[in-house]
A and B are shown apart, each in its own frame.
Chain A
Amino acid sequence: MSLTLLNVIFAVVVAIAFAALNAAYLVWAERRGAGRIQRRPGPNINGPFGLFQPPLDGLKLMAKQLTIPGGADKILFVAAPVLSMFPAIMSFVTIPFSEMIVAHNMNVGLLMIFAFASSGSMALLFAGWSSRNKYAMMSAVRSVSQAVAYEIPMLITAITIVLMTGTMDLMEIVRQQGPSILHWNIFPLLTNSHNLLMPFSFLIFFTCTLAETNRAPFDLGEAESELVAGFHIEYGSMGFGLFFMAEYANIVIGSCLTTILFLGGWHPPLPFLGFIPGVVWFLLKIYILIATFIWIRWTFPRTTIYGLLNLSWKILIPISLFNLLLTAGLLKVF
């Protein structure tokens, strides 16, 4: 008990570093990717390929003054960005990067990630409300209603996986997906339920991850054309920086979860590739997913808020529920 707790504290420190690094360089990747997709160079002045751009951006943000708008609720205004980092950091604790690299494996690991992810929407609400800005408020309400709506199909899909594997232990879920690509949960043939709809489940989960992290095409919360800049409109300096970091940390967490649940975690696609360490495969998988995130963002137009909510409540939830029942039935049959 005592040692695991120390482990956790240590892991939190590492996780903060990991999240910061990821946020910094994902921004770079995003801007370079956007440049490529839009046929322009992107940041390429500072350092080779513009690689010094993120630390310079960070310095710029830190050097700026933190302004608090008049009439804002000061305590909540300051607390909200910190609070938004909290769930992302805590979730890193239980994510297994490989058989060896995990801070604290829990038998309710999956539940823990969802628990903290769901508390993230409180930060958005506080940020939006305490800013005393109509746009911030509206976008916070939008973001939260979106997060609540997409949490449901996401949880149902996760429960489908829990049904198939019989555990909420993330490591155990990954272990059951070895040794080759055909045993991954996304591929229905060799998993124990033989459910042919699993690829659709994967799509649902991936879509929900996009929506939960407020990414395009579901970034209604920060639709610039209508809401200026979203719930963090009044934040400058590191307040904005923290929200930014939290957003990218959430993307990483979402990709990790998708990898663990559907793409076999640290397992190589083919058994003979096992000489490469698991953590490499894991990171490779999540960065492919993140690249997909970026790709989708710069190629899909934004949806409308009604379309967004309808998609969740009228399409994704029924399909995922159906798939849950089907999986339960198939498990009983086979």
Chain B
Amino acid sequence: MNPSLFSADGLVGLIFLLTIAITIAGGIIACNSERLVRAVAGLMICFIGVGALYYFLNSPFVAMMQVLIYVGAVAVTISFAIMLADPEQSSQHGPINALSGPFGFITAALLTVGLALIALKTMWGDEPKVNDGSVKIIGTQLLTDYSMVFELVSIVLLISIIGALVIAREGRKS
């Protein structure tokens, strides 16, 4: 059943499509822009779109974390790193090879068609909600069933910090 455009559901559907358009547009800007800072802006738009999609999937907590971490922290960190780039940098194209031309396009098209087919062919049942997605439940799960993973993530962070320090400590000499 297709709700009419001017009903409440229709409007929500429209906003959903808009969210998807924003996400894709952000991704395209991030990949294709010639200025690094614009690419970061595109990435940010893409992140916000993804956050909105999480909201549509009934998990506001993940949506907010997406915005808080990816837009507020990751994108800011990336832009700090590339702010020093010259805004008038000339576009530097590598040699155009088969991968960036037709082959890349074919691969992308195949992936798209493949994923679309999967989405259409699968019998998506009405899965019951695992939980209500509240902060309390997520916290409890993280500290009971998923405690192992939760602790392991801290090792990932530790390695990243050590690695960043090691790599940044000395500049390239030659």
The answer to whether A114 touches B11, judged by C-beta atoms less than 8 angstroms apart, is no
Set B61, B73, B80: member contacting A141, Cβ < 8 A: B80
The yes or no answer to B22 lying at the interface (CB within 8 A) is no
User: Which B residues contact A (CB, under 8 angstroms)?
Assistant: 8-9, 11-12, 15, 35, 37-38, 41, 44, 48, 60-61, 64-65, 67-68, 71-73, 75-76, 79-80, 83, 87-88, 134-136
List the B residue with the shortest CB-CB distance to A75. Answer: B38
B56 to chain A: closest CB distance in Å?
A: 9
A5 to B72, CA, bound (A): 24
Contact code string A62-82 (vs B, CB < 8 Å = 1, else 0): 000000000101011001000
A3 to B12, CA, bound (A): 9
A141 to B76, CA, bound (A): 10
The answer to whether A144 touches B37, judged by C-beta atoms less than 8 angstroms apart, is no
Mostly, the A contact residues are: helix
A144 to B79, CA, bound (A): 11
Closest 7 A-B residue pairs measured CB to CB? A118-B72, A115-B67, A115-B68, A2-B8, A119-B71, A111-B64, A115-B64
Set A71, A73, A116, A141: member contacting B67, Cβ < 8 A: A116
Set B48, B65, B87: member contacting A129, Cβ < 8 A: B87
A residues near B80, Cβ cutoff 8 Å:
125, 141, 144
The answer to whether A6 touches B8, judged by C-beta atoms less than 8 angstroms apart, is yes
The answer to whether A3 touches B8, judged by C-beta atoms less than 8 angstroms apart, is yes
Contact residues of A between 1 and 17, Cβ < 8 Å to B: 1-3, 5-6
Q: A121-B76, A129-B87 are in contact. Are A107 and B12 (CB under 8 A)?
A: no
The answer to whether A108 touches B88, judged by C-beta atoms less than 8 angstroms apart, is no
A113 to B72, CA, bound (A): 12
The yes or no answer to A106 lying at the interface (CB within 8 A) is yes
B residues near A71, Cβ cutoff 8 Å:
87-88
The yes or no answer to A168 lying at the interface (CB within 8 A) is yes
The answer to whether A2 touches B135, judged by C-beta atoms less than 8 angstroms apart, is no
B residues near A129, Cβ cutoff 8 Å:
37, 79, 83, 87
B residues near A76, Cβ cutoff 8 Å:
37-38, 41
The yes or no answer to A271 lying at the interface (CB within 8 A) is no
A208 to B143, CA, bound (A): 30
Contact code string A104-135 (vs B, CB < 8 Å = 1, else 0): 00111001101111110110011001101000
Having A119-B75, A121-B72, A122-B76, one finds 20 other A-B pairs with CB under 8 Å, namely A2-B8, A5-B8, A5-B15, A6-B11, A79-B41, A106-B60, A107-B135, A108-B60, A108-B64, A114-B72, A115-B64, A115-B68, A122-B44, A122-B71, A125-B83, A129-B79, A144-B80, A148-B76, A151-B72, A167-B136
B residues near A121, Cβ cutoff 8 Å:
72, 76
B residues near A122, Cβ cutoff 8 Å:
41, 44, 71, 75-76, 79
B residues near A79, Cβ cutoff 8 Å:
41
Q: Which of B48, B75, B87, B134 has the most CB of A within 10 A?
A: B87
B16 to chain A: closest CB distance in Å?
A: 10
A111 to B37, CA, bound (A): 27
Contact code string A12-32 (vs B, CB < 8 Å = 1, else 0): 000000000000000000000
Set B9, B35, B61, B68: member contacting A73, Cβ < 8 A: B35
B residues near A1, Cβ cutoff 8 Å:
12
B46 to chain A: closest CB distance in Å?
A: 13
The yes or no answer to A318 lying at the interface (CB within 8 A) is no
Q: Which of A112, A119, A167 has the most CB of B within 10 A?
A: A119
Set A3, A116, A166: member contacting B136, Cβ < 8 A: A166
The answer to whether B83 touches A119, judged by C-beta atoms less than 8 angstroms apart, is no
The answer to whether A118 touches B68, judged by C-beta atoms less than 8 angstroms apart, is yes
A residues near B65, Cβ cutoff 8 Å:
111, 115
A1 to B75, CA, bound (A): 30
